[in-house]
Structure 1
Amino acid sequence: MKMMRCLMKRRFVAVVWFLLSCYGLFLRVPSSGVPNVIHLDKMAHFAMFFGQFYLLGRVFVVNRQSQFFKLWLVALLWAVVSELVQGIFTARTMDFWDGVVDMVGATLAVLYLYVRRNYHHDPKDR
């Protein structure tokens, strides 16, 4: 029962993270009042994708090498689709480097989960 509640919490957090990411990627109109920090958008893309695929890896309890690869393929697909969708909206622009940073964030999340699950023998990670 306790494990089921934990899984439900993880799913809830992953869904909320996804919805907030969609809002940030597709619906929020960039404002001119945002501080001019170099590559702030790249940091946001990295954080969104790292967080999303870390959470998905925790929800689906990925623990086989093929599952890590599938999770990474989903990340690749989502990075491509999200950039294409941004290119469709007039308030947003498609950016190749955003897609690259998306994949760097997702790849590091998947690698972190892989190392944690395969080299740290913590029962919580199984």
Structure 2
Amino acid sequence: MKITQHLSERKFLYFAFFWSIFIGYICLITIKKTPTLVSIPFKDKIAHFSFYFILFYLWKKALNVKEIKSQLKIVLMAVLYGIIIEVLQGIFTSDRHADIFDALANTLGAVSAFVFLRFVNK
């Protein structure tokens, strides 16, 4: 039983690591303007919110933390990661810029996941 639990936790560690790299990659690459069939208001902010909601969830599962203090550390790390990515966008990309509202959407995603999972787990 412990072996399957260990493999399950390791699986989430791989997912969390991959998701972190994916967020960094997708936020720092050049994306050509492509025509969209459906115009969704604030779709960029919804994407940022969703990315960091999932990021918090995956790292919480990967590290198997149950204490509030440890979960808040994950929230803080996700927020810092989002800020770092925004700064890197401003420095290293020519077609993207650092956006405080993207950082806010990242923060809201991580905090919302923390709050949501606190209520779901009760």
- When normalised by structure 2's length, the TM-score is 0.87
Separation (CA, whole Å) in 2 of partners of 1:37 and 1:64: 37
Corresponding residue of 1:56: 59
Contact 1:46 1:104 in 2 (8 A): yes
Residues 57 and 110 of structure 1 are in contact (CA less than 8 Å); yes or no, is this contact kept in structure 2? no
The percentage of aligned residue pairs carrying the same residue is 25
1-10 vs 105-114, greater mean Cα deviation: 105-114
| Structure 1 unmatched runs, 5+ | 120-126
Amino acid at match of 1:98: D
Contact 1:71 1:110 in 2 (8 A): no
Partner Cα distance (2:112, 2:102) in 1: 15
Indicate the residue corresponding to 1:116 in structure 2: 120
Shift of 1:51: 0.7
Residues of 1 paired with 2:24 and 2:78: CA distance?
Answer: 14
Pair 1:68 & 2:71 matched = yes
CA contact (8 A) 2:9 2:64 kept: no
Unaligned runs of 5+ in 2: none
Aligned pair 1:26/2:23, yes or no? no
Name segments (4+ residues, structure 1) moved above 6 Å: none
d(CA) in 2 for partners of 1:7, 1:54 = 13
Q: CA RMSD in A?
A: 1.4
Question: C-alpha separation between the residues in 2 aligned to 1:11 and 1:34?
Answer: 36
Partner secondary structure for residue 90 of structure 1? coil
Rounded to whole Å, the distance in 1 between the matches of 2:113 and 2:107 is: 10
Task: State which of 95, 101, 117 in structure 1 corresponds to 2:105.
Answer: 101
1:92 corresponds to which of 83, 93, 96: 96
